[in-house]
Amino acid sequence: MEAAAEFVVESPDVVYGPEAIEAQYEYRTTSVSREDGVLKEANYYGSLTQAGTVSLGLDAAGQEVFVPFRALLPMVSPDDLVFDGWDISSLNLAEAMRRAQVLDWGLQEQLWPHMEALRPRPSVYMPEFIAANQSTRADNLINGTRAQQLEQIRKDIRDFRSRAGLDKVIVLWTANTERFCELVPGLNDTAENLLRTIQLGLEVSPSTLFAVASILEGCAFLNGSPQNTLVPGALDLARQRRVFVGGDDFKSGQTKVKSVLVDFLIGSGLKTMSIVSYNHLGNNDGRNLSAPPQFRSKEVSKSSVVDDMVQSNPVLYAPGEEPDHCVVIKYVPYVGDSKRALDEYTSELMLGGTNTLVLHNTCEDSLLAAPIMLDLAILTELCQRVSFCTDTDPEPQGFHPVLSLLGFLFKAPLVPPGSPVVNALFRQRSCIENILRACMGLPPQNHMLLEHKMERPSPKQVEHGAAACLVSCKKEQAPKAPNGCTGDTNGHSKAEASLMSTT
């Protein structure tokens, strides 16, 4: 078939003129949303309470039974939570979602009609506490004196509680990292002095102002940033009002890995001597942290995470000895919320050797933090319903106002005065798990699985998975070792003994 030299379109939508062809054309296209051919459903991945499981014990066959963490005790469902908040930026949540560029565009389009009507309440802006580059966002502010700002925050909390018909309100600080606030006797060292400081308009950080307002309204306050929001005066006020507070700094990515890896290294007998952590990110958090005073707050919270693990092993570390620990954070706008974390761990080995581990971690910073916020609210509300007593103190009591139980979720866990600080991740998780088990009348999880480690399980154990056995050996008493133990070099008892293990 030969190509036509010329042709004419006969249509009412086409007009041929002496110099141009005019056509009326209706353009149509089809929009398709595809995720690699897989339908993705909403989930709570990354949440301890919603996506984690717990070993409840052994079944009749001697196999472990795992149940969802949320099934241990009655917990609030995240689907039943109601949200409100403050922001120095006036953008509605749909516009803020688009600006943040965290979610895929297709998901943003689906969420837009649900987010567009949500607007933040005006917030407190003190330029001296955050980076100067945040000033362009500050168009939604609570004006007035410090005392007037405090009262407005309290009114907002009461209004939210009333309008939404809520039983409880829990306040989380998820805003920018502030510089550290100087601790000054007579200024913020007691509840009385802190309240007077606010009335006089002296130095108090925005986050501390929100903490005080929350405590005065009887609402638990949790600090998700690294600065010292909960100054001694705020802790004193929480103790007086018997209101829970917790912090500091959400533990989501690099630091969570560090709290596992250093625990593994030192627990394995390796002497870790150098830890270098480098980050670069491009979200607004990174932009704010590009200012030295705000970076210093973050550096402190990220650096203290290995302290208890080092102190736990005096065989490796002499008093006062600790690894070199360097933390670097850089702002690189292009990478957005996909934070890059690079870590190098160098440990000493026997015979003068060294071992170096290098990790690269790309993490969606905000998507890791969001389920942590849900867990904090859910666990805090649960703790508000727990009371206990002891033989020596039969009067029921609750947890200490400084809710150290939440340490699993924070980089720099706050603890009651005089309490040891635990940063090792699995010890922190075991604490939560075993306290919840205690509320159910179950013993702590010890992970011994002793019934699977005996040389000769009894017929009863084989048949029913029982955890009891009777070992009969020579009747003569074995000689005692200097440490008070009896047995041969392998630790096997030479006397008749009865051993019971309960899991």
Catalytic residues: 249, 298, 339, 411
| C-alpha dihedral, 233 to 239 to 240 to 241, nearest 10° | 110
Main-chain phi, psi angles of 137, to 5 degrees: -90, -15
DSSP string, 240-294: HHT--EE-SSB--SHHHHHHHHHHHHHHTT-EEEEEEEEEEE-SHHHHHHTSHHH
Please, what's the b/e burial string for 399-416 (b: 16 or more CB within 10 A of its CB; e: otherwise)? bbbbbbbbbbbbbbbbee
Long-range contacts of 54-63 (CB under 8 A, 24+ apart): 54/433, 54/436, 54/437, 54/445, 55/445, 56/442, 57/442, 57/503, 58/451, 58/465, 58/467, 58/503, 59/465, 60/464, 60/465, 61/465, 62/451, 62/452, 62/461, 62/465
Are 103 and 110 contacting, i.e. CB atoms less than 8 angstroms apart? Answer: no
Are 379 and 405 contacting, i.e. CB atoms less than 8 angstroms apart? Answer: yes
Q: How far apart are CA 331 and CA 497, in angstroms?
A: 64
Cα dihedral 222, 224, 229, 230 sign = positive
* C-alpha closest to that of 429 among 302, 305, 259, 261: 259
Q: How far apart are CA 60 and CA 133, in angstroms?
A: 62
